A = this chain, B = another copy of it.
Amino acid sequence: MRYWDDIRVGDRYAVGQHTFSAAEIKAFAGRFDPQLFHLDESAAGRSHFGALCASGWHTAVVWMRLMVEYHRREDEALRARGDAVAMLGPSPGVRDLKWLKPVYVGDTISYVTEVTATRSSNSRPGWGLLTMLSTGVNQRRETAISFVSTTFVARRPASP
């Protein structure tokens, strides 16, 4: 992670992409969202979805994993250049999480995150806040998920 001070509105991250298999859709749903249209092909076929599809929460948390992996690669690149790595802090939350299209078996979702606002933190000295718009688009170029998240990022330490 770069320091908050080095991040600008409009910075865009190609976070990564993920193809949802039937097995992992069912595994996630069995654990966290055991509704029949996420668990069973024939029940899903009779539902409003028309076929087995992923829990919306599943589509969201795959973004989280890809984002953490993205920052890991970025941190490695920063270290390789001899640059300092900033700490990623807690997230106060997410707003406007929209499940716009079902994610069906075999769909590949490409996640992109864009910085839409930055501000320094009053409550936590040494930290800044980022606001980011994230979208997940399927292979038919339909946006399946979008949401706005905020997160704390460490500020560059003052020079001694």
With A93-B99, A99-B93 as known contacts, state yes or no: A57 contacts B64, CB within 8 Å. yes
Complex interface bits, A16-38 against B, C-beta within 8 A gives 1, otherwise 0: 00000000000000011111000
How distant is A134 from chain B, measured CB to nearest CB, in Å? 13
Residues of B near A94 (CB, < 8 A) are 94, 97
Residue of B nearest to A34 (CB): B68
The answer to whether B33 touches A91 (Cβ under 8 A) is: no
Interface residues of A in 28-86 (CB under 8 A from B): 31-35, 48-49, 55-57, 60-62, 64-65, 68-69
Q: Closest chain B residue to A35 by CB distance? A: B68
Interface residues of A (CB under 8 A from B): 31-35, 48-49, 55-57, 60-62, 64-65, 68-69, 88-99, 102, 152
List 23 interface pairs A-B (beta carbons < 8 Å), by A numbering.
A32-B64, A33-B61, A33-B64, A34-B65, A34-B68, A34-B69, A35-B68, A35-B88, A48-B89, A48-B90, A49-B90, A56-B91, A57-B57, A57-B64, A61-B61, A90-B102, A93-B96, A93-B97, A93-B98, A93-B99, A95-B96, A95-B97, A97-B97
